[in-house]
Structure 1
Amino acid sequence: MINNEGIVKANPNVEILFNESLSKYTHTLTGGPADILAFPETVRQTQSLLAYANQHEIPVTVIGNASNLIVRDGGIRGLTMILTKMNKIKVHENHTITADAGAALIDVTKAAQAHSFSGVEFAAGIPGSVGGAIFMNAGAYGGDIDDVVTGAEVLTADDQVVHLDFDQLDFGYRHCSVQDNHQIVLAATFSLTPGIADKIQKRMTHLNQLRASKQPLELPSCGSVFKRPTGYFAGKLIHDSGLQGFQIGGAQVSTKHAGFIVNVDHATATDYLNVITHVQKTVFDKFGVHLETEVRIIGEEPVKSL
C-alpha cells in the first residue's frame, strides 16, 4: 500500500495528484488513472521523487507530452511523473541549443529559427517533448533526432544524474539506449548550423502545411501508430487492405491517413488497442507483413467485471 501522505511530505514543493485520470493528459484523450501523478519542475525534484520511489519499492513511469502514447484503461500503478513543467530552452552562441526534457520539440524549432539556426526544421510539427523525442529518436520528413542531438543528461535507475554523449545514446530507428537502461531524459543538447531565418521559416511553414494536408490533425490521435516495415510503408499497406474508416467503439483508422488511428467518438484505450490488433492481423493475412507498433503502449489492462 502506497503511503500518499509520505510522498507528499518528502516532496513538499511538487504538485502531486492521486488516482488522476491520464485521459486529461494524453493526445488520444484516453487512459486510466495513475495511482500517483507528479509534476516535477526541476532535476532535483525529479531525482528526489525517484529516490523516494526506489526507497519504498514503488514502480515509476515517466511521461512527456503523451503525443505518441497509449495508456491502457486500467491505468498505471505506482508513481507516474509528467515532465512538461521542466521546459527551459537555452540558446548558445556556438549554434547549440540546450532544452529540458519537458520542453516542446516545436518550441525548440521556433527558438532555432529565431536565432537563424538550421537543421531541426524537420521537427517543426512533431508534437512531442524533447525527452520523448530522444527516447523514441523521433523523426519526420527525412530527419531524425539523432541528426542534431549531441548528448543528453539522464537520471539513472538508481537516481544518479549522468551525461551521455552521442555514442552512448546508441540511437536506432525509433530507439535509444535510455529505453533499455530505464533512464529518464532530463535535458538534451542540439548542435545546429548557421542559416537564414526567413529560409528556415519558409521550410518549417512548408512542412507544417504538408503535415496538415495529409494528417488528421483535427482529431485526437496518438500520432503515427506503426513503424515503417522494411521495404514498405505502413499507411499504404493499411490502405491497400481496405481498412481506412474501420472502427471499433470510438477509435477509427483515419480516412485521411491510414497510418493514424483517431478518436472520433469518446474512444477508450481498449478501442485503440483492438483496432491496432485488427489492423495487424488483416495486413499480415493479406501481405504477410507484421506491423510493429511505433506508439508506446503502457499501463494495466482494465479489471473485467464479473
Structure 2
Amino acid sequence: MTDEIVAAFPDIDILTHEPLSTYTNTKTGGPADFLAFPESVTAVQQLLQYANEHQIPVTVIGNASNLIVKDGGIRGLVMILTRMQQHTIDGTHLTVAAGASLIEVTKLAQHASLSGLEFAAGIPGSVGGAIFMNAGAYGGEISNVAESVQVLTPDAQLKTIVGADLDFSYRHSRVQDEGDVVLSATFALTSGDGTAIQAEMDDLNAKRAAKQPLELPSCGSVFKRPTGYFAGKLIHDAGLQGYQFGGAQVSTKHAGFIVNVDHATASDYLAVIQHVQAVVFEKEHVHLETEVRIIGEAPAAS
C-alpha cells in the first residue's frame, strides 16, 4: 500500500506510520500504517468507501481508554473519531457525535438540567466506544438511555438503529458483531435539577478517585465481572495485587486495573493479563474474561 490514500484526501488529516502509543490511555501501542482524523460523517463514509474499493483493512477507535494496541501496531487504515464532537439538544433528547468524550457529554447534560447520564460522569471513553461496549458504572449503563444510533455499515451505508435493536448486554452491543461504525447517538434523558445532577456526578467522581488509580496510565477495567464474583476481589485474594511484568503492574490501589508504572509495552500488559488469568483460574477455578479490547499485531520477532 502506498501513500495514495493521503493524496486522495487532502482535506483530511492523515498521518503515516504513526505510533498509536501517542493516543492510547495506556501509552502503549505500535504504529498505524495510516492514521486518519475525519471530522464529519461524510469524511468517514468517503474513507470507508475508498478503503473498501482498495481492499484496505479499517480499524476505528475513539478515546482508546479501554483498549490495548499490540506493539506491532495496526495494518491498513486507522480512524480516530475524536474530532467529531458535534451535539444538539431537542427537549430531553441529546444527540452527540461518536468522538465526543463521554465525560464532556455528562457535563452537557448537566448544564441542560437533563438527568440520566450521571453514572457516566467519570467514564473516560468516547460516545462511540460507550455504545460499542455498552459502557456502565455505578448501576447505570448506556443501554438505559440510548434511544438510537447512527452507524455506517461495513459497506459504507448510513443506517439508524433504535436502542431496542442494539442487542445490548453486559459490555456488548450489536455493533461489535456486525462491524458497524458508530457515528452518533441520541440519548433519551429526563428533565431534572442541574444542582442535584451535579451533586450526584461529584459524588460518583469522588468515589472513583478514591478507589481507582486515575493518576497512572491504564486501560481501565481489564476484566469483565464474572457471574457471582468481582474480578478485583478475585485478583486481590489470589495475592496478585502489585504483580509486575516489565513496566505493567496490577494496581496496588484497585486490583481490577493494570497500570503503566515504567514505560510499559503492550506486551507487558498482555503478559500481566495472562498471568492473572492463569493464577486466578488455578486458585479459584474462575476464568477471567477480558473487558478491555485487544487489537493489532504482535511485534516482529527479533
How far the C-alpha of 1:90 sits from its partner, in A, is 1.4
Partner of 1:283: 280
Q: CA RMSD in A?
A: 0.6
Which letter does structure 1 place at the counterpart of 2:2?
Answer: N
Q: What aligned pairs does 1:227-246 form with structure 2 within 5 A after superposition?
A: 227-246=224-243
SS in 2 for 1:212: helix
Which letter does structure 2 place at the counterpart of 1:37?
Answer: L
Partner of 1:145: 142
Partner of 1:123: 120
SS in 2 for 1:219: coil
Partner of 2:178: 181
Match of 1:96 among 93, 96, 102: 93
Which letter does structure 1 place at the counterpart of 2:166?
Answer: L
**Unpaired runs of 5+ in structure 1?**
none
Q: Deviations over 1:246-284 (max 9, x none)?
A: 000000000000000000000000000000000000000
**Unpaired runs of 5+ in structure 2?**
none
Which letter does structure 2 place at the counterpart of 1:163?
Answer: T
Partner of 1:253: 250
Identity, % of aligned positions: 67
Q: Deviations over 1:94-124 (max 9, x none)?
A: x010000000011111011011101110000
SS in 2 for 1:199: helix
State TM-score, norm by structure 2. Answer: 0.99
SS in 1 for 2:59: strand
Aligned residues: 302
How far the C-alpha of 1:3 sits from its partner, in A, is 2.2
Q: Distance in 1 between matches of 2:22 and 2:213?
A: 20
| Dislocated runs of 4+, deviation >2 Å | none
Q: Distance in 2 between matches of 1:11 and 1:167?
A: 37
Partner of 1:304: 301
Partner of 1:65: 63
Match of 2:270 among 256, 273, 296: 273
Q: Distance in 2 between matches of 1:79 and 1:168?
A: 29
Match of 2:10 among 4, 9, 12: 12
Given that residues 155 and 162 in structure 1 are in contact (C-alpha distance below 8 angstroms), is that contact kept between their aligned partners in structure 2?
yes
Given that residues 91 and 111 in structure 1 are in contact (C-alpha distance below 8 angstroms), is that contact kept between their aligned partners in structure 2?
no
Which letter does structure 1 place at the counterpart of 2:16?
Answer: F
Which letter does structure 2 place at the counterpart of 1:45?
Answer: A
